[in-house]
Amino acid sequence: MKVIHKNRLKMWFLLLAVSGMMVILLHYSAASAEGIRKGLSYSSNYLIPSLFPFMFISSMIMYSGVYEYFGKIFSLVFRHLFRLPEEAAFAVVMSLTGGFPVGAKCVSMLFSSGKINHSQAVRMMMFCVCSGPAFLITAVGTMMLHNMTAGVILYISQVISAFLIGIITARFDKTDATRKHISAEHQSISDSLILSSSDSAYAILEMTALVAIFSMIMSVIETIGVDRIFDCVGILPEQISGLILPVILEVTGACSRICEGAFPLWAVSFAAGFGGLCVHLQIFGILKSVNIGKSVFLIFRLVNAVLSSLVTYAICCFYRPEVQVFAVSETTEAEWVSGTYIGAAALVVMCMIFVLSLKRSYYANRPLRYSRPAR
């Protein structure tokens, strides 16, 4: 009877919560629409171009069985460092190169096929979750910070933090890393191609929907003014308190806001290391069969964020890339760069002078080379 009563209370609570959300969204329809637009923009500009190729490649390798040969190359290193079987080497590498959901997907497929046990799968999810180079170097570094070196520093910090967590947690795991080989049915190339495409498309669609929903929630919260509750406490400055909710909820929007403000690079590293609840929900959905402890997972996400920010801070003590995020003053003077009206006019004038100064024969014999910028 107590269980039935508790379930009824839960259903009534969900009904009231959903009804309240519907009323709020109807009242703040403009803010919710703007949040959806921003979320879809984040996904189309940053997430889909950077994550979809890695998700497709990882699925292709898993379905075709190539990961077994891949693991033999790194079997000795991963067995001693992380105390994992050789089949898990591919999942670790893909988590470091593919980004957040790719590592979780590989771990789920390894666990479902019996290549790793439950304790190894849970431990892998403590360090096989990090931002990939496509997001940090291309999206954050090149597109948001306009400095690829800053993105490289962020990615190196993520890798070092993941390795530290993986090595430390391996010392407490007594599971034998040498597992008995379990033969699995591998798909043909055509079937692997079809399955990988459908799985990656579904994962991208789910990720885009979650990013749009969390962006909508953040937009409504800002319109209502709930995000200013941290300002009332008075412990943190107004700029920092305004970033707490974005960092907790969604990583792409949080990194974009941090890059637009006057914050050091380690703040971006902290947000990317934590990942945000949007990414965490994606991982929980992928790892339904593993059934990892959510509280322990969130604790290690916070540990990863702290370690990543510390590594980034240490690197910036020796080398500090010049990006817009390092501004120390709120007032900015007009600079002679292409980002201002004066700079744009100067750039046009200089280009005209340069073109007119070229000799026709020199231009015909030695055309200018054009190198497409990295995206």
pLDDT tens digit string along 194-249?
Answer: 888 888 888 888 888 888 888 888 888 888 876 565 555 555 566 676 788 888 88
Give the CA dihedral 135, 327, 227, 269, nearest 10 degrees.
Answer: 30
Percentage of residues of the chain with pLDDT beyond 70: 75
**For residue 374, which phi and psi values (nearest 5 degrees)?**
-70, 140
Q: How far apart are CA 54 and CA 57, in angstroms?
A: 5
Give every CB contact of residue 139 below 8 A, 6+ residues apart in sequence.
45, 46, 47, 50, 252, 255
Q: Mean pLDDT over residues 99-116, rounded?
A: 83
Question: Among 151-165, 194-208, 266-280, which stretch is predicted with the lowest mean pLDDT?
Answer: 194-208
Share of residues in the chain with pLDDT > 90 (%): 15
**Residue 358: pLDDT over 50:** no
Encode 162-182: b = buried (16+ Cβ within 10 Å), e = exposed: bbbbbeebbeeeeeebebeee
Give the side-chain half-sphere CA count within 13 A for 124: 39
Which pLDDT value is given to residue 229? 58
CA-wise closest residue to 209 among 47, 20, 23, 58: 47
Residue written as token pair 């039935």: 4
The residues near 118 (Cβ < 8 Å, ≥ 6 apart) are 111, 290, 291
Exposure string of 13-32, with b = 16+ CB inside 10 Å and e = fewer, is eeeeeeeeeeebbeebeebb
CB atoms within 10 A of CB 60: 19
Residue 46 exposed, middle or buried by CB count within 10 Å (0-12, 13-18, 19+): buried
Residues 18 and 207: beta-carbon distance below 8 Å = no
Residue 330 pLDDT exceeds 80: no
pLDDT band at 303 (very low <50, low <70, confident <90, very high): very high
Give the closest residue to 142 by CA, choosing from 375, 315, 301, 359. 375
Residue 324 pLDDT grade (very low, low, confident, very high; cuts 50, 70, 90) = low
Rg (CA), the chain: 24
What's the angle, vertex CA 322, arms to CA 321 and CA 328, rounded to 5?
Answer: 115
Q: Which residue has the higher pLDDT, 334 or 361?
A: 361
pLDDT at residue 124 is higher than 60 = yes
